[in-house]
Amino acid sequence: MLVLLPPSETKRPGGDGPSLDLDGLALPSLREPREQVVAGLVELSADEEASARVLKLSARRLHEVADNAALRSAPTLPAVDRYTGVLFDALDAETLDEPARAWLGAHVLIHSAPFGPVGALDGIPPYRLAASTSLPGLPSLRKIWADAVTAAIRDARPEFVLDLRSEAYAALGPVPADVASVYVRVVSEGGDGVTRALNHFNKKAKGMFTRSLATAGARVRSLDDLLGWAASTGHSVRVASPGEIELIV
């Protein structure tokens, strides 16, 4: 199984890993678009005023221009440790034991805007770039990433893909139609039987669900496997429509 997670806007600073190695990231066929976006982001960082405008930075976040300027030289952290925020706080990867972290490394990709999907344990520096941002002189991120990421996922030949990304990041690399996959929506069910989509708890539920998979070392090769595993571990999951499941919290 391949699990696709969204990134987070908030990130842990610093790091103790070597500088960014584009050749060492998961899905190596994405080397060219990664170089294209990184180069565009570094070039933009030479102009603080333009960076603030393009990246929609407040005065308090101007330090992120320096993060982008140092993309190629800054120390790195494993991607799953770099990101903070609701989803990654719930996943709490730093407290997982070695087998669970190895499971994340083998099964989880986090879909970043500048690097595309990266392995959970791939080293990345801090950066500022959102899925909706258009960099000067470059096509939209969707044009840069979508077809390339779809092809890279197909080349990885996963038996089954669990897509926990937000819609904005899913658009930067749709799962190929010929690969078995499901897109996850987090909902609550009221006493009236009506299901409602969630926002804050959407992210928290995705982080907790991924943590449960890693802790269990889950072996999932199909939707039936996933539904069986969820039922056996107390997670409420149901098929909502072809290609979509609901995680009920």
Residue by residue, DSSP assigns 211-228 as: HHHHHHT----SHHHHHH
In tens, the pLDDT along 54-112 reads 999 999 999 999 999 999 999 999 999 999 999 999 999 999 999 999 999 999 999 99
Q: Is the pLDDT of residue 192 over 90?
A: no
Q: Is the pLDDT of residue 201 over 90?
A: no
Q: Which amino acid is at 39?
A: A
Give the whole-angstrom CA distance, residue 43 versus residue 168.
Answer: 24
Contacts of 53 (CB under 8 A, 6+ apart): none
How many angstroms separate the Cα of 174 from the Cα of each of 58, 89, 213?
A: 31, 26, 23
**The predicted structure's pLDDT at residue 200:** 65
**The predicted structure's pLDDT at residue 195:** 65
Give the whole-angstrom CA distance, residue 154 versus residue 8.
Answer: 25
In tens, the pLDDT along 12-41 reads 999 999 999 999 999 999 999 999 999 999
